[in-house]
Homo-oligomer: A and B are copies of this chain.
Amino acid sequence: MLTIGQLARAVGVSVKTIRVYHAKGLLPEPERDFSGYRRYTAQDAVELVKIRALAEAGVPLARIREFRSGSDAELRAALGRVADDLARRISGLQRTQERLRQLAAGDADQLPPGVREHLDRLRRFGFSDRWLTLQADLWTLVFATHPSAAPGLLRDQGESLDDPLQRQIFLDYDAAYELDAEDPIIDDLARRAVRATQERYDPGNLPGQDASSDIPALIQQAVNASSPAWRRIDTLIRRGLRS
C-alpha cells in the first residue's frame, strides 16, 4: 500500500531511517512492487511506531533487534525497564532545564550565595589570602557540582567557625602550610583535629565522607598537592579517624 516516503511521513521519520532499520534487521524488508519499490502495509507502520518508541527512549538499535527475537514475557519486562530508565532520564533533563533557567536568569560567574559572607568572616578571623582563595575555589566547585547539598555544607562550616577551639584548628592548619613535614607541631594539630571532628559529628556520619559526594576528597587532594605539610596533616587525620 504505502511507499517508503509515505510511510516515513506517516510515522514522522526520514526515509533513510527506515532503510537503516531494514539494513540492521529491525524492520523486515517488505514486498517490492514490479519496479523494485518497497510496498508497506499498515502493520509495518505499527511495527515502525513501536521501534521508534524504543529508539526515542534511547534504546540502542542492536538491543531493539534483540527484543524482537525474545519471548513475549521477556519483551514485556524489558519494556517496563526501558520505561523506568526513561523516567530517570526525564527527571535528569528536568534538572538540566532548571539549571538552564538559572543560567538564563542570573550571571553565574559570581560567587554562590553566602560564600562572599563566609569569606569575609574568614578574613576577619585572620585567615591568609591563600586560605581565602582556596575556600573560594572549593565552595564554587561544591556549588557547581552539588547545588542541592552545598548550602547545607556551607552552613555547617560556618557553625564550626563559631567554636573558638575549632576555629583555632583551622587557623593552625592554614599557618602550617610552610612548615617542614616532620615538624612535631603537625602531629599535635592532627590530634586536635581528630578529637574535634569526633566530638562534633557522629562516627560514620562525617560530612564529606558520605558516598554521595567525593568532592571534598577531590578538594583535599588538590589542597594537599600544594604543601607537603598539609599532605602530612591529611594523612595523620585520616589515620586517626579510622582507628
The chain A residues found within 8 Å of chain B, CB to CB, are 1-2, 6, 9-12, 41-43, 45-46, 49-50, 53-54, 56-57, 72, 76, 79-80, 82-83, 86-87, 89-90, 92-94, 96-97, 99-101, 103-104, 107-109, 136-138, 140-141, 144-145, 214-215, 218, 221-223, 225-226
List chain B residues, Cβ under 8 A from A93: 56-57, 86, 89-90, 93
A145 nearest CB neighbor, chain B only: B10
Please determine whether A42 and B144 come into contact, CB atoms closer than 8 angstroms.
yes
- Set B42, B80, B100: member contacting A79, Cβ < 8 A: B100
Q: Which 7 A-B residue pairs are closest in the complex by CB-CB distance?
A: A42-B137, A79-B104, A1-B222, A42-B141, A42-B140, A83-B100, A46-B144
Across-interface contacts of A12 in B (CB, < 8 A)? 145
Minimal beta-carbon separation of A137 from chain B (angstroms):
4
A145 to B43, CA, bound (A): 12
Asked if B100 and A10 sit within 8 Å, CB to CB, the answer is: no
In the assembled complex, which residues on chain B have CB atoms less than 8 Å from the CB atom of A103?
A: 50, 53, 79
